[in-house]
């Protein structure tokens, strides 16, 4: 998915770092971004936490646990001609 991140050379960018526990027990860590705002990165952490929520087997309601967790990192980008 293409993103428009046209911004000043010294602008701060953000990315979401997500750790997921797969059904086979394997743990993977992935990052998504960059995003121009911290809110977008936080939203991705929330999405994965909710998407991989552990459900009660009887009621199918969320238990409050998730097979995903994450955090947001910030950085700056150095643009150079490719």
In angstroms, the CA 26 to CA 24 distance is: 6
48 belongs to a structural domain: yes
In angstroms, the CA 13 to CA 74 distance is: 6
For residue range 16-66, what is the model confidence (pLDDT) as tens digits? 999 999 989 999 999 999 998 999 999 999 999 999 999 999 998 989 999
21 belongs to a structural domain: yes
pLDDT score at 76: 87
3-state SS string over the chain?
CCCCCCCCCCCEEEEEEEEEECCCCCEEEEEEEEECCHHHHHHHHHHHHHHCEEECCCCCCEEEEECEEEEEEEEECCCCCC
56 belongs to a structural domain: yes
Number of separate domains in the chain: 1
51 belongs to a structural domain: yes
pTM of the complete model:
0.81
Q: Which domain holds residue 21?
A: 12-76
25 belongs to a structural domain: yes
36 belongs to a structural domain: yes
3 belongs to a structural domain: no
Q: Average pLDDT for residues 62-71, to the nearest whole number? A: 94
User: Quick one: pLDDT band at residue 2, thresholds 50, 70, 90?
Assistant: very low
């Amino acid at each position: 998915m293409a993103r428009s991140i046209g911004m000043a050379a010294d602008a701060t960018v953000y990315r979401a770092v997500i750790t997921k526990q797969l059904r086979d027990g394997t743990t993977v860590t992935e990052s998504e971004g960059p995003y121009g705002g911290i809110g977008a990165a936080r939203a991705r952490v929330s999405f994965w936490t909710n998407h991989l929520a552990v459900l009660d087997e009887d009621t199918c309601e969320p238990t409050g646990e998730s097979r995903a967790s994450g955090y947001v990192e910030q950085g700056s980008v150095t643009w150079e001609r490719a």
